[in-house]
Amino acid sequence: MDKDLSLFDPDEELDELVTPTPLSDPVFTAIFQDANVSGLAMRSFLNATLENSGDDPVSKVLTVTPQRVHSETSERAFRIDVEAWTAGNETVLVEVQLTPFSATIERDLLYSEQALASVAKRGDKLMHVISKMPRVIVVNILENALRKVGGYHQVVELLYREPPYERATDKLAIHNLELDKYRKAIKDNPSTPLECWLTAICRSQDGKLPLSEVVKMDEQLQAYCNADPGFAQFVARHAIVAATPEVRKAYRRWQYDLMLNQLDKERQEEKINAQLQESRAEGRAEGRAEGKADRDMEIALKAFANLKQGQHVSDITDTLKSYGIPNDVIKAAQKQSKS
C-alpha cells in the first residue's frame, strides 16, 4: 500500500482546502440529518430517480433518518431511511444505501420483507394487511456497477416472466444508480433532473470540490438549482456540513478506516496467494515423488523378472540399491514378482 499509515493521524484536522465528498458516509448522513433540514432535498432526489424510470413521484417526505448498518467493508456504514407519501396518500418506505455488499440485491430483499410485513399484526385478515401494506423503494448509489450490461439506472422489480412482461406488484422496486456507467455516458449538458443530480455529485466526488462551486461552473446545473428548491437545499447542506469541524473530523476518520480496510484486504489477498503458491509447490513435489516411486517400482520389477534367467536375488537387490532404489520398493517388487 502506497500510503504510510504511520504518517496519517485520523484525529488531525483536515486541510482547509480539502472538501469532504458528498457521498462519504459521515457527510451524506449529516446532509440528510432529518426531514426538517433535508426533506426537500430527499424528495427532489427521489423524484428525480423515480421520474427517470417512469414511476410515480412522492408528494411529501415525512421522516428522514440515518441508520447504522453492518457492513462488510467498514464499521462506519449507514443508510438513510425515509418515510414519504405519494400523491394518493399512499405510504412509501425508502432506503437510500451507499455501502456495497457482496449480495446487495438479496440484502435489499430482506430489508423490503421487513418493511412490507411491518403492518401485519396477529389476528389481522389478509385483505386488511394488503390494504395497509406500504410501497417499498430501495435506491442504491453505487460506485461500481452490479450489472455489466444496460444503462446506469437499473430497476429491479417483480415481473411476470411470460409475455407480455408486466409488474406482478408495484409494492417493491430497487433502483441501482451505477456511477461508473454514468461517468462513461456523462453529458456536458445535463438536461433531466437525475442527470443534474448525478453530474453534480460525480464532479464533486471526483474533483473533491464543493457542490456550490460545481454548480456555479455549469449553466445547466445553476439553472436547475435555481428552479428546484430540493436540489438547492442539497447544495446548501453540503456547504454547511463540509465546514463543520465534527463532520470534517468524522470524514478524516472515515478515510482512515477505508485505508485500513484496503490494507486488510491486500494482506488477506497476499496470504491467500502465498497459500496457493505453497500448495502448488507441495503438489509439484508430491508429483515428482510419486513419479520417482513409480519409476523405481518399474525398474525393480524388471530386474526381478531376470530371476527366471538364472540371476541371484542378492545380485539384483545389490544392483537396485546401487541405483538408489529404497529397500521397501525392492521388497515390494520382489514379493510382487513371486505372485
pLDDT tens per residue across span 19-71: 999 999 999 999 999 999 999 999 999 999 999 999 999 999 999 999 887 65
Cis bond upstream, residue 57 (ω within 30): no
Q: What is the C-alpha to C-alpha distance for residues 72 and 49, in angstroms, rounded to an integer?
A: 27
Q: What is the pLDDT at residue 14? A: 62
Contact between 211 and 28 under an 8 Å Cβ cutoff? The reply is no
Q: What is the pLDDT at residue 27? A: 95
Q: Which three cell numbers stand for residue 34?
A: 432529518
Q: What is the pLDDT at residue 70? A: 64
Contacts of 200 (CB under 8 A, 6+ apart): 211, 214, 215, 221, 231, 235
Q: What is the pLDDT at residue 124? A: 67
- pLDDT tens, N- to C-terminus, the chain (339 residues): 445 555 556 666 666 778 999 999 999 999 999 999 999 999 999 999 999 999 999 999 999 999 887 655 545 578 899 999 988 778 888 888 887 766 778 877 777 776 666 655 666 676 665 666 778 889 999 999 989 899 999 999 989 989 888 888 888 899 999 999 999 987 678 989 999 999 999 999 999 999 999 999 999 999 999 999 999 999 999 999 999 999 999 999 888 888 887 787 788 667 666 765 775 566 566 656 667 777 778 887 877 776 655 556 777 777 777 778 888 888 888 888 776
Q: What is the pLDDT at residue 279? A: 59
The pTM score is 0.72
Q: What is the pLDDT at residue 254? A: 86
Q: What is the pLDDT at residue 1? A: 43
Residue type present at position 18: V
Q: What is the C-alpha to C-alpha distance for residues 110 and 36, in angstroms, rounded to an integer?
A: 29
Q: Which three cell numbers stand for residue 91?
A: 405510504
Q: What is the C-alpha to C-alpha distance for residues 123 and 115, in angstroms, rounded to an integer?
A: 19
Closest CA relative to residue 239, chosen from 45, 35, 17, 19: 19
Contacts of 86 (CB under 8 A, 6+ apart): 56, 57, 58, 59, 92, 135
Q: What is the C-alpha to C-alpha distance for residues 138 and 155, in angstroms, rounded to an integer?
A: 10
